[in-house]
Amino acid sequence: MDLNLRTPLSPAPATAAVTPDAQAASGDDVDSIVRALYRTLTPAQRGEICFAWDHADEARGVVRTFIANHWQVTRPCVRSAFFSADQQRLIYAIYLGLLAPEWHARFVQQLADDTYGHPWGADQSVAIFGDPERGPWQFVFTGRHVTLRADGGSEPRVAFGGPILYAHQATGYYEKPHHPRNVFWPQAQAASRLFDMLDAGQQSRSTVAALPPETELAFGAPPAGLPVADLHSEQRAALDGLIDGLLAPFRDADRTRVRTCLAAQGGLDRCHLSYALDGRMSAPLWDNWRLAGPAFIWHWRGYPHVHVWVHVASDPAVPANARRGQFLFDGHDRLMR
């Protein structure tokens, strides 16, 4: 099987478990593909990548809630002899299914850039927590600059199945101003256009010296920046467009869940928007900005390259478990040059 970086896989050969098809790859059937993958795993494979729902270790705490900018959840990489060809196809179908189809090529480009052109799956790993046949459960896909999850609604308080991260280093560790070729930079451009729509007083209130640390995803911190409730109708429409752009890379089910969680905590009107002077290398645009509410954090860090940390829930009591740095197993490529 050829896991081509630029061309999506054709459907896997029929097996007793599942035949991924266009509908599954569009995000409509991710949960069933996770269950199919789980059924194909041998006892030895389950011993390596399957864990109890609340499995914890000393370094990462409860691992299904952990997130970092560069980590591997388990030792075996997807593109390895550990997984059969059909299993690799199933994992690829899950990965694509978590993303909007129009974003597939951009996410594949991001992984290629951030692993120095290594084939898809060579520097990514997966895990399953709990039992997808009986629940609760979570599937997680990790690697450098990516954490994606699915949980079939097992943790109804959270969006995306838990905290996620997407990031891109398109032109080197220290990207150039305006982030050429960065697939996520248009999101910051939209946030910058919103800033330009603010009046002088609003701009002053939304501008901060620096954002909180990027791993500060815990809810309940004192709000900083401009209250969204103070936006007038035209500005609010621009913010709604920004939210649409932030959610655009992800499947419909996750977009819906984010909006449901937001509504449970009073909607965008309870959020604050902040733009940071620190790290602003693309002026007059903004590289570092953050939208945060009672149980909503979308932290956009553009310097020295793009990291986007997302934690959304319907309940502010949901804890955060975020760390910055490398959390890898022996033998994993550090991917640093």
Give residue-wise pLDDT tens across range 32-84: 999 999 999 999 999 999 999 999 999 999 999 999 999 999 999 999 999 99
State CA 110 to chain mean position distance: 12
pTM for the complete prediction? 0.92
Which residues on neighbouring strands pair with residue 129, listed in sequence order?
Answer: 51, 138
What does the DSSP 8-state code read for residue 25? I
CA angle 327, 188, 157 (to 5 degrees): 55
Give residue-wise pLDDT tens across range 281-335: 999 999 999 999 999 999 999 999 999 999 999 999 999 999 999 999 998 999 8
Number of neighbours of residue 305 by Cβ within 10 angstroms: 20
Give residue-wise pLDDT tens across range 121-177: 999 999 999 999 998 999 999 999 999 999 999 999 999 999 999 999 999 999 999
Per-residue confidence (pLDDT) for residue 132, from 0 to 100: 97
Per-residue confidence (pLDDT) for residue 16, from 0 to 100: 30
Helix pair 185-197, 233-247: axis angle to 10 deg: 170
In angstroms, rounded to a whole number, what is the distance separating the alpha carbons of residues 197 and 191?
10
Per-residue confidence (pLDDT) for residue 337, from 0 to 100: 55
What separation in angstroms does the CA of 174 have from each of 232, 303, 305? 37, 7, 6
Beta strands in 184-276 (DSSP E): 207-208, 226-227, 272-276
Per-residue confidence (pLDDT) for residue 20, from 0 to 100: 39
In angstroms, rounded to a whole number, what is the distance separating the alpha carbons of residues 101 and 28?
11
Sequence-separated (6 or more) residues with CB below 8 Å from residue 160: 148, 149, 250, 254, 257, 258, 310, 312
**Is 281 within 8 Å of 287 (Cβ atoms)?**
yes
Q: Tell me the pairing of strands 226-227 and 272-276.
A: antiparallel
pLDDT value at 25 more than 70:
no
Question: What does the block give as tokens for 147?
Answer: 């954490």
**Is 127 within 8 Å of 50 (Cβ atoms)?**
yes
Give residue-wise pLDDT tens across range 175-231: 999 999 999 999 999 999 999 999 999 999 999 999 999 999 999 999 899 999 999
Nearest to 160 by CA among 83, 88, 241, 261: 261
Per-residue confidence (pLDDT) for residue 335, from 0 to 100: 87
Sign of CA dihedral 154, 139, 148, 224: positive
Sequence-separated (6 or more) residues with CB below 8 Å from residue 265: 293, 294, 295, 296, 314, 316
**Is 29 within 8 Å of 252 (Cβ atoms)?**
no
State CA 124 to chain mean position distance: 14
Give residue-wise pLDDT tens across range 236-288: 999 999 999 999 999 999 999 999 999 999 999 999 999 999 999 999 999 99
